[in-house]
A and B are shown apart, each in its own frame.
Chain A
């Protein structure tokens, strides 16, 4: 058991820190949930990519540094500690890319990954449908065979950043008569600007067009954009879900930086006695999440799969994030209701509220923990 970094890891940390010191924009960028902000964030991705910092854990051939999980964690700590901007390419980088590494073809990886790494193609996740939320397998959008590809029809919803993104990936029903709902699904990538696609932005809680509804009317997708085998989409998608909840969606570095900012704010505000315990808990929680992730990463590097343990992760960080932001707003008092205040706590709070809903609701995660980690009997679904 040890927490020390190798000299090579430390050198990597120093290199990342030096680069970030020289490049991180001085002030906050406009919100990436707006058209203007989206463009600025895309340019930031390109800047990161130019020096090989946009996807450090990927193979060099696709724009990464092949640096492994430990250094990815190190990079993330430095990234957020430096106050660097939110990542607009996140859906693609943390959800689609791992799926392509596991299930894609070499041709798909070579074609899709480098432009993703440079922020040239930003991806949206098109999983949810109006009638398929937690019960994702009940989805109805169809993929119908046609010459050289498929025709997609139906409706997807709550697709983050789809209003400004370029392409999307999602599940479609290709064999409608299978006995079980998660059979006969196919995982496909499609162009959000293709003929037959209508994108309707939806304002989220603060009105920003952060997600969108997609209407698909016989949208043509070539065979080369099917991920994995047709009909096997559920299996492919579930490996993506593991990544989403597991190690990579919310890095500990992000919460460590937030907890540090909160503690600094608390000191600035005269060590407010009413929030003291909650500030301490935010500090403790960030540390717990960091060390939990180190343990998970160590097991992963030993060759163990992530498995249902990632559900522990998902519930923890989503509830932690809300508690952290609530504490900051309470500490700010009257200023706490401003969403355009300096420090971004108001906007962060709005975003944190969605954490227990997306990436599989926390109720669903608790069911997974109960059944698969505690061995409790299945309940009604």
Chain B
């Protein structure tokens, strides 16, 4: 088996995030498996890097996973995800005084979405509306908040701006990832007396490690074994895990991406 460092790709929009990858690198080195981190500006570049074998493994957004999946005819290798990547949902929020109590009440209204390529704040909720008989481009007006396009909604700015627009009354509804909605209610960013969630999407999954189809499955298994030895009880690991928002690495699965695949088919978003 090759002993070359495993090249792992990550999309970085904040230099502080490199600290996370530094901790992961150090841990892998201690465990006798060296990795080399390669940083990308956006997910499209990262998937390009995976396809050209510039990297072996990519820390992918759900949309980047789908892009890889489609580009490799489904042959890419599925890796681990964070515990917090599983079973997420998107919330649909309106003002309490709007009189809107269900999704159908959004017919003819303006809905605030996140960035154009955000799975949780645009693609999946648009598909959810479609499932409930509200067609994109016909039954409501999309007001998009394109912050950090290329980051697939990693940057919270688009969702937050949509929520602020809802509070200000310039849109009739806004969508956000459940974790963000809960955090904003807790820290006072949004006022629960003014805003109310009227619906949620079914559960879906978020980020996942994805390897190139030609990457050795033994090495990928070795990588995952080491990754799963990261321990929240270890102070150094806990720092990284808190920054990345997880308590443990768990087995990956692609069943949680079905809504996104459906959304991609509906919106024909990825050019494949």
Q: Do A and B bind each other?
A: no
Interface residues of A (CB under 8 A from B): none
